Chain A
Amino acid sequence: MKRLLSFIITVLVLAAVMAVSTPGLLDRVRLGLDLKGGFEILYQAQPSEQGQELTRASLLQTAASLEKRANVLGTSEPEVTTEGTDRIRLKIAGVTDEAEVRKKMKEPAVLTFRSAAPGDPEGTYSKIELVGSDFVENAATIGRDNLNQIEISIKVKDKQKFAEITKRLLGQKLAIFLDETPLSDPIVNAVLTDGTASISGNYTIESARELADTINLGALPLKLTEKYSQSVGATLGKQSLDQTVRAGLIGSVFILIFMIGMYRIPGLIASFALILHTWLLILVFVLADFPLTLPGIAAFILGIGMAVDANIITNERIREEMRSGKSIMSSVKAGSKSSFRTVMDSNITTIIVAAVMFGFGTGSVKGFALVLIVEILLSIFTNLYFARWLLNMLVKAGKLSKPKQFGVKESEISAL
């Protein structure tokens, strides 16, 4: 009685939790660009001047400046990641003027040092004094001056030009801009003739480091070429999502009907485990903030077919034991035990393939592999352990005493 009660409570509680939380969870699933519309571009970065080297730092800087630009253009949650040694992947959703954004993104970052031209309102600077290429590459560093204040040292190529500028602007501001964004506006304190300068002010380590990196980036801007691009219209994305989810639902219902029709009570348990499995998968995606892509949904649906395999193997084995004349209790025990290894072996080999896909894949392949891996791991828990635990409880509670409840006919059982 106690076992039956805990069985019922487990099922009811889980069912209630799932029913209550599912609508909220579904709203929080992050959709990939192919489902919500947007575009994705893979850039290859090269130094714009021949013979220069591409460094990790400059790649990261370029990625950061792409992200800043995307934000300035008012796009929602731009996602910028670096790949390998010379690639940047950019994902932007909800863009109205795609051509404009793509053009803006490809332009190299422009670093300028500007002064206020006559007639400029207070705080604006329009006269360009120095551009990124005037600086020695990778020479901007941070350090501390005599007063232990953080300062940024820079080096310019043309000493005379720099001396002339500092002489002319002595006591005035020389503002630093990346594209059209002002970064800092230090005051020229001395005439500098040796081509090096220190910028000091109210910098924290981070802000100083960022400014130094930006100057280095400006000195060596990277040229970006589009290697791969995918853009999906929002309507088309929505259409794919709806169609695929509907296909998945119908397919799943058929699988559930098949399982219940074939295995009766254990089939019902398997179906419940499968629903739990799907719910957990959505939960993992929400908690880990993984984006769900179209290939991901495909993996999801296929994985449902594969997850029930664990139940099919176990239940077939139990039925086999029953047909050989064993009691229900010992059939369930023996069937579960011997099918366990089979299920584990077959799942591990599938994980190997999925892991390789994840390692080697890019974009959509990665998304697919990720779902498959998470799904197999979850199915070991739900469709192997959990389903077996539920079944054992029912058997021990004495509620499963007829072979018919397993879909086995009396006539098939051979006498011992």
Chain B
Amino acid sequence: MRFKKELDYVHLSKYFYMFSIALTILGIVFLAIFNLNYSVDFKAGSNVDVSLTKNLTADQIRTAIGGIGTDHEPNVTIGTQRVTIRYDQELTSEQDAELKSAIAKLDDKASFEVNTVDTEMAKELARNAIYAVLISCLGIIVYVSIRFEWRFAIAAIVALVHDAFMVVAVFSIFRLEVDLTFIVAVLTIIGYSINDTIVIFDRIRENLRFGKQKNYDDLKNLVNKSVSQTIMRSLYTALTVFIAAFFLLVLGGESIKMFSLAMVIGLLFGAYSSIFIASPLWLLLKKGQKSKGKPAKA
């Protein structure tokens, strides 16, 4: 299972940059217009997830839970032997109990998961999530700058922010629900993406020690060589983690479905960005240094 890997990755990256930039713009537009499809974790309210032993219709559910005295009509989503009911307001514990007994009348083996979050808490969760992402980035910049050099750190950060944003963009475009586990997924993707990038950078650093790179072409060849030396590992690792995330998505519990989906999307972007975003970007930054230090022999 070997394929032709002596490709000009730096040259190819041009197309991938265009793709990423296009998707970024699309993502920004969607985020600006539609924002994200937040779950109760981030916008306050109650989410009721019911596992049933038979299939019920949305009307049956609506009629049954009509009497619990909420101001707003809930959003009812029907799945196979499963119902998700979402309220934009927080259910009190009395309403919560009434709702459960109303549905239990339809199906006495129904099992519930209820999440209720108040507005202030929702804001705090979102704020903490953003802090977590920023601090992770900062930690990585510091570590990579110490172990490597700042150019690697910048390139790595751009790649990981790219990965995180791509997942956010995809979730916004397809209106997928964003809950607390989504944040966990994004953070894991960041961790994984940096892991992937470091492996390639490590090889670039190693190759830098042998031979002198006099001009841009030498550096470009070095990047291409380093990427092709590590590409099998990148693909295999991406594949193994992908296998894990994929089975979680297909067979795992309902409440981590969105998490798994975010992971699967993020992993694909993570593998791709290390090769086509981070490495060429480092080359670009390094080129600046070379041309400043020594006038390039054009």
Chain A interface (Cβ < 8 Å from any Cβ of B):
34, 37, 42, 98-99, 102-103, 225-237, 239-241, 243-244, 246-248, 250-252, 254-255, 258-259, 262, 294-295, 298-299, 301-302, 304-306, 308-309, 312-313, 316, 320, 338, 341-342, 345-350, 352-357, 359-365, 368, 372, 412
Contacts and interface: CB of A to CB of B under 8 A. Distances in A.
A352 B144 CA distance: 11
B120 A350 contact: no
Contact of A226 (B118, B191, B256, B263): B118
Given A244-B252, A250-B251, A251-B244, A349 B140 contact: yes
Given A34-B113, A240-B255, A298-B181, 15 more contacts: A103-B93, A227-B117, A233-B111, A239-B111, A243-B253, A258-B239, A259-B240, A295-B181, A304-B244, A305-B245, A312-B236, A353-B194, A357-B184, A361-B184, A363-B180
Given A349-B143, A349-B191, A361-B132, A235 B180 contact: no
Contact of B93 (A102, A259, A342, A348): A102
Contacts of A372: 188, 191
28 contacts: A42-B121, A98-B93, A99-B97, A229-B115, A233-B110, A236-B111, A239-B51, A244-B252, A250-B251, A251-B244, A255-B243, A258-B239, A258-B240, A298-B181, A298-B252, A309-B195, A309-B237, A312-B236, A316-B236, A341-B202, A346-B198, A349-B198, A355-B139, A356-B132, A357-B132, A363-B180, A365-B183, A368-B188
Contacts of A259: 240
A247 B188 contact: no
Interface residues of B, number: 75
A360 B94 contact: no
Given A99-B97, A338-B206, A346-B198, A298 B256 contact: yes
Contacts of A233: 51, 110-113
Contacts of A42: 121
Nearest to B110: A233
A353 B256 contact: no
Contact of A239 (B140, B184, B233, B253): B253
B147 interface: yes
B240 A235 contact: no
